[in-house]
Amino acid sequence: MKIKRNKKKEKEKRERKKRKMKKQNNTEQSVGKQSFLKRKNVEISFKRYAIDAMGAMALGLFASLLIGTIIKTLAENVGTTGLMAALASVTDTGELAAKVAGLSTWNHFCWILWQIGNYATMVTGVAMAAAIGYALDAPPLVLFSLCAVGQATNTLGGSGGPLAVLFVAIIACEVGKLVSKETKIDILVTPAVTIIVGVGCAMVLAPIFKTICDSLGTFIGWATNLQPFFMGIIISVVVGVVLTLPISSAAICAAVGISGGAVLAGVLDGSISMGVWNGLALAGGAATVGCCCNMLGFAVISYPDNGVGGLVAQGLGTSMLQVPNLMRKPILWIPPVLTSAILGPVATCIFQLRNNGAAISSGMGTAGLVGPIGIITGWSNMPEGYAVGAFDWLGMILVCFVLPVLLSWAIGKFMRKKGWIKEGDLKVDLG
């Protein structure tokens, strides 16, 4: 009996020792993993991805798509009306060269300026991915490889391209950092792993984000068939919010055709009714107003935190700069959203503001003044029976510029007094 008890104790002792060693090994492995991640500067956190990375991506978007669009819009409107767009549509290089050679010196300059802006917009995915890599302290080879990842992802993502780039670039960057300088052939391994993982993820994820954003576009398209009052509220709020999010509101508006200009050819040949044109034109006006409310709204309410630089960057650039702050404190969205909800039906029901320009202008707001310019240029090509007068100009100035500023400022001031918006809440990184 005594021998059996001793054997049992020894067995228990061995089991305890085994469990202790297993626990110790697990702890060592955990510490080892943490140490490895720390050494590689891989930190999985909400702040790092949702705030730092997204804030940097907004700057990348600003430095490519938005600044390029501003330059293109400038060129299109200081040159001969419609010339730049006409030249851009020419696909035959010989024909294009002949037409460019025949331009005046001034229009030739405008064409060059338009091309510069166009080249800037073409690298949007590259700029966003590189900005994300920079925010995540990516090593050089990882950072440079992200350029290919960003371009592929933005192309595959369509209207959901920017959102897809955010997720895919983060994954590719962190994986690339894990393998960086771990082999003797790092110059081959790191770029290969970063690009293969990144583009592979893009092939899987980008279509998903595209589908989501296309569904949002379908919803917006449904809203264009509502009565002007409700249509004004829904489209103004939704498109304005989309503009601020890392989603291409311009691409969605273009895909859905939110603008009278999108169906103008059909109106002229009789295949599209005036009722359909009027609904889309009013929807385009409401979308433009919603975008203006978000851009000017955030610019104004954040002025105490950002000064003149922030005012210009958001008012003429992009309200997406505020996304990191909105992730921390969604209540900050109230002034622009409430202003959009008020002014949307004011635009559709009172001023009957129509955007008859390019559909893309409906989703741009005051970014380079593309939205208001789209409305103005569209007025020059209205269907028969629609004349534009002083009341239209007054409405456009009020709902696109004056009222978004005044209403957002008033709501923001009220929220600051209540303590709902505090000093520093709306501070943005201006690079």
DSSP for 50-111, please give it: IIIIHHHHHHHHIIIIIHHHHHHHHHHHHSSTTHHHHHHT---HHHHHHHHHTS-HHHHHHH
Reading the block at residue 185, the tokens are 């052939």
Residue 273 shares a structural domain with residue 183: no
Examine residue 5 and state whether it is found in any structural domain, yes or no: no
| 162 and 303 assigned to the same domain | no
* Rounded Cα–Cα distance for residues 420 and 406 (Å): 19
- Is 70 exceeded by the pLDDT of residue 33? no
Query: Are 156 and 273 contained in the same domain?
Result: no
* Number of domains, the chain: 2
Closest of 218, 228, 226 to residue 253, by C-alpha = 218
Instruction: Report the length, in residues, of the chain.
Output: 431
Rounded CA separation 52/130 (Å): 13
* Structure tokens that stand for 413 in this block: 């001031």
Sign of CA dihedral 199, 205, 211, 216: negative
Token representation of residue 403: 């009222």
User: Within a domain: residue 159?
Assistant: yes
User: Sorting pLDDT into bands at 50, 70 and 90, what band is 1?
Assistant: low
What is the per-residue pLDDT across 93-124, written as a single tens digit (0 to 9) for each?
Answer: 788 888 888 788 888 888 888 889 989 989 99
In terms of Cα–Cα distance, which of 270, 267, 231 is closest to 382? Answer: 267
Domain presence at residue 17: no
Q: Is the dihedral of CA 409, 414, 416, 421 positive or negative?
A: negative
Report the candidate in 131, 165, 172, 170 with the shortest Cα–Cα distance to residue 150: 165
Residue 82 has pLDDT above 70, yes or no: no
| Distance, CA of 38 to CA of 50 (rounded, Å) | 19
pLDDT digits (tens, 9 = 90+) for 351-393: 999 888 877 788 888 888 888 988 888 888 788 778 888 999 9
- How far apart, in whole angstroms, are the C-alpha atoms of residue 281 and residue 286? 9
pTM: 0.75
Residue 372 tokens, joined = 């208001």
For residue 129, the surrounding DSSP H or E stretch is helix 124-135
What DSSP element (H or E) covers 190? Answer: helix 186-223
pLDDT (tens digit per residue) in 213-267: 778 777 887 887 778 899 999 999 999 998 888 777 777 777 677 887 777 777 7
Look at residue 3 and tell me if it is in a domain: no
Q: What is the pLDDT of residue 28?
A: 47
Query: Is 92 in the same domain as 236?
Result: no
94 lies in the same domain as 132: yes
Assess whether 204 and 289 both reside in one domain: no
Q: Domain containing 371: what range?
A: 224-431
Helix, strand or coil, per DSSP, at residue 38: helix
Query: Do 168 and 231 share a domain, yes or no?
Result: no
> Terminal CA-to-CA distance of the chain, rounded, Å?
80
